[in-house]
Amino acid sequence: MTTEQPLAFRVRHVSCERGDNLVLDDVSLDVKLGQILALVGPNGAGKSTLLSTMSGDLRPTAGAVELNGSAIENYSAKQLARERAVLLQANTVSFAFSVQDVVHMGRTPWMKTSDEETDARLCEQAMRDADVEHLAHRSFQALSGGEKARSSLARVLAQDTPIVLLDEPTASLDLRHQEDVMVVARRLADAGRAVVVVLHDLSLAAAWADEVVILAEGRLVHHGPPQDVITAQTVRSVYGIDVHVLTDPSGRLVVVPERA
């Protein structure tokens, strides 16, 4: 007899409008602790909007989001910051803070509840996991796009929350660091945390996610394990491109476009 994993989020019939555009249309899903859920889909499908509704940063036009069984709007900003950490697509800092300073900002929600030793340990671990230890004293503003992305990820990891929401964390990274990010996500999920990650790379989603959600034109069109969701037929219907879905030596799926 298997034990059902507890839920981090319940998303029920969520719709979001921006101006005259219906960006999300009646989306429902559960997000379980101890799993990686990948959100994939074409540009403009509503992936980042869905992530924002789950984070509590965007209130839906219709429907409801529950965090740990309670309506997300009932949480204060501080309570939310202790439950979920969010990595946005834009990695900007207004002042010339060092990378070390930016990472330590992740501990702000826990001010007066943790000691300096704990804060320092968590920040050092986060910087190791994101491979930015060697950048600790560099100005954040002077970093490359990929270095900023990894430093921002370290800040999110230092926040040390049971839920981690990542919006395109691999977009500006080289091949090695893309894999590093997903290894960290896997480690978090294996430790019982919920990880929701927006990805464009279907091979990364297939290789690392426990469940995949495909969005198209604001609607949830497929949801399930990668092997059930990421198929040549599905990719063709959603993205309008023919692909080969192969299996690598480790048994993970790889999505390769058909090329003349």
Q: Please report, for the chain, the start and end positions of each structural domain, with discontinuous segments joined by +.
A: 7-257
- Is residue 156 a contact partner of residue 107, using CB atoms and an 8 Å limit? no
> Cα(256)–Cα(232) distance, rounded to whole angstroms?
10
CA angle 206, 210, 215 (to 5 degrees): 65
**How many CB atoms lie under 10 A from the CB of residue 65?**
21
* Residue 230: how many other CB atoms lie within 10 Å: 25
Let me know: does 136 contact 127? Beta carbons within 8 Å: yes
- The SS3 of residue 31 is strand
Side chain identity at residue 8, one-letter code: A
- pLDDT value for 95: 77
pLDDT at 94: 67
**Which residues are paired to 11 by β-bridges?**
29, 65
pLDDT at 20: 87
Q: Does domain 7-257 have CATH number 3.40.50.300?
A: yes
| Nearest by Cα to 32 from 222, 200, 196, 181 | 196
Task: Report pLDDT for 29.
Answer: 97
| Per-residue pLDDT in tens (0 to 9) along the chain, 260 residues | 445 678 999 999 999 998 889 999 999 999 999 999 999 999 999 999 999 999 999 999 999 999 999 999 999 999 999 999 999 987 677 678 999 999 999 999 999 898 889 999 999 999 999 999 999 999 999 999 999 999 999 999 999 999 999 999 999 899 999 999 999 999 999 999 999 999 999 999 999 999 999 999 999 999 999 999 999 999 999 999 999 999 999 899 999 999 98
Distance between CA atoms of 162 and 128, rounded to whole angstroms?
19
pLDDT of residue 1: 43
**Strand, helix or coil for residue 185:** helix
Phi-psi group of 251: left, alpha or beta (phi > 0 → left; psi -120 to 50 → alpha; rest → beta): left
Give one DSSP letter per residue of 75-126, joined into a string. Answer: S-HHHHHHHEEEE-S----SS--BHHHHHHGGGGGGTTTS-HHHHHHHHHHH
Q: How far, in Å, CA of 226 to CA of 125, rounded?
A: 30
Q: Which residues contact 171 (CB under 8 A, 6 or more apart)?
A: 89, 149, 200
